Amino acid sequence: MNRPKAVAFDVVETLFSLESLRPRLLTAGLGGHQLETWFASFLRDAFALEITGGYKPFREIASANLSVLLEKELGRADSQAVDHVLDGFAELDAHDDVAPAMSALRDSGIEVATLTNGSAKVTSALLERAGLRHLVRQVISIDEIGHWKPHREVYRHCAERLGVEPHRLALVAAHPWDIQGARRSGLIAGYVARDGVAFPAAMEAPDVRGVTLVEVVAGLIEAQ
């Protein structure tokens, strides 16, 4: 494994927890336990659109999927309830290990970026709200290229934006499918096991893994 010149972090769940959306689902009339199910099914729809060549942005897919869930559970889809839940993506809380991990990279001379399936505007707002924006060189969104991660072109686009060769760019994520995409695109990959979730054996193994971002980043920094 090469020592990376730059590290791009996935955003949702990797840097920012979804927990603050749970009470918003309750307000909309759903159960808090449905957060994980909704997020997973929304990603399923996004990936299906990607595979069939029908790109749509994050909020549009999330809104449509949540409306279906509301109709199924409550017999109606309230647009105000949908907006209330989705607006919560701009108010997610950062995990405690984000700032020290990013600071360690900066102090080691490794540039920091974010690579998100969401919008650059929302991601920038999240970083500003958490006091992290000054640590991030570039906020890169799939909207720039019209493909969802884990499509190969997203990771290659990120490398081009940062001016580094793919094999000198690391992608850090809490999603195995994101790690798979990065590895198949020639990037270094670091997996953070949020909530202790093990990495599935069917996927290409990450170069570095840890239970915190600090551990993952330490492994990247120590590479030759």
Q: For the segment 80-114, what is each residue's pLDDT rounded down to a tens digit?
A: 999 999 999 999 999 999 999 999 999 999 999 99
Q: Is pLDDT at 224 greater than 80 in this prediction?
A: no
Helices of type H across 52-188: 58-74, 79-87, 98-107, 120-129, 152-162, 176-184
Cβ burial of 59 (10 Å; 0-12, 13-18, 19+) is middle
Q: For the segment 144-153, what is each residue's pLDDT rounded down to a tens digit?
A: 999 999 999 9
* Amino acid letter for position 219: G
Mean pLDDT of the chain: 96
Q: How confident is the model at residue 78 (pLDDT cuts 50, 70, 90)?
A: confident
The Cα 6–Cα 135 span in angstroms is 12
Q: Is pTM, for the whole model, over 0.75? A: yes
Q: How confident is the model at residue 77 (pLDDT cuts 50, 70, 90)?
A: confident
Residue 163 has a pLDDT of: 97
Residue 95 has a pLDDT of: 98
Query: Which strands, in side-by-side order, build the sheet including 6-9?
Result: 138-141, 111-116, 6-9, 169-173, 188-192, 208-210
Q: How confident is the model at residue 76 (pLDDT cuts 50, 70, 90)?
A: confident
- Structure tokens given for 223: 């590479």
Reduced to 3 states, what is the DSSP secondary structure of residue 9?
Answer: strand
Q: Is pLDDT at 131 greater than 90 in this prediction?
A: yes
Q: How confident is the model at residue 59 (pLDDT cuts 50, 70, 90)?
A: very high
Residue with tokens 């889809």: 77
- The mean pLDDT value for 178-197 works out to 97
Contact between residue 109 and residue 7 where contact means Cβ atoms under 8 Å apart:
no
